[in-house]
Amino acid sequence: MKIYTKTGDNGTTGLYGGTRVPKYHLRVETYGTVDELNSHIGLIRDQEISKKIKIDLLKIQNDLFTLGSMLATPEEKEILKNGEKRLNIVTIDKDSIELLEQSIDLMNLDLPAMTHFTLPGGHSTVSYCHIARCVCRRTERLAVQLAETSSIESTIIMYLNRLSDYLFTLARKLTYDLNVEEIQWIPSKNK
């Protein structure tokens, strides 16, 4: 398989099912941002962290590829007139969301209650989690915007919302695992 096809030289790209759209199309921007998020999660997985977290992150990366393929498939190519699915792609389901929730709950067992917002940082691995969380929120905003004009599976937005929570909790857990100070944001009054 050649890496270059030359079909995008005119500024368009093909969605799953063959529809061609401009490369700036909101659907392309959304699944492209999923890809960016996946790369950031790969960076976290490359750090010195527990094997359990690495396994969880690998599962998330696979889920994000699935989510990207869902976003790359426009509804008109997915559903036939009789309501049957034309393209047999794997989808994100509520089980994937529940796995994120279980991981969040498990990590929270070791963490003190939050009383303030926390400032990102303290260790590069923690910062990578916060960057991924921000990219995840941007992806979620794009998916919500796309859902206003196109039909997308509701589990996409649910998954991204939960993944952001997971990444925030992971940042806190790694802060404690790495024995780094968690700096609270305490607003100061203007003088």
Q: pLDDT above 70 covers what percent of the chain?
A: 86
Main-chain dihedrals φ then ψ at residue 106, nearest 5 degrees: -65, -45
Q: Which domains does the chain have, with CATH numbers?
A: 21-177 (1.20.1200.10)
- The string of pLDDT tens digits covering residues 87-105 is 566 788 999 999 999 999 9
Q: Is 152 strand, coil or helix?
A: coil
First to last CA, the chain: 64
Q: Is 21 strand, coil or helix?
A: strand
Alpha helix positions (H), 46-153: 51-71, 75-78, 94-108, 124-149
Q: Which helix (H) or strand (E) holds 20?
A: strand 20-22
Confidence of residue 111 (pLDDT cuts 50, 70, 90): very high
4-8, 60-64, 142-146: least confident range: 4-8
Q: What is the mean pLDDT of residues 56-64?
A: 97
* Highest mean pLDDT: which range of 68-72, 78-82, 167-171: 167-171
Residues 171 and 128: beta-carbon distance below 8 Å:
no
Confidence of residue 7 (pLDDT cuts 50, 70, 90): low
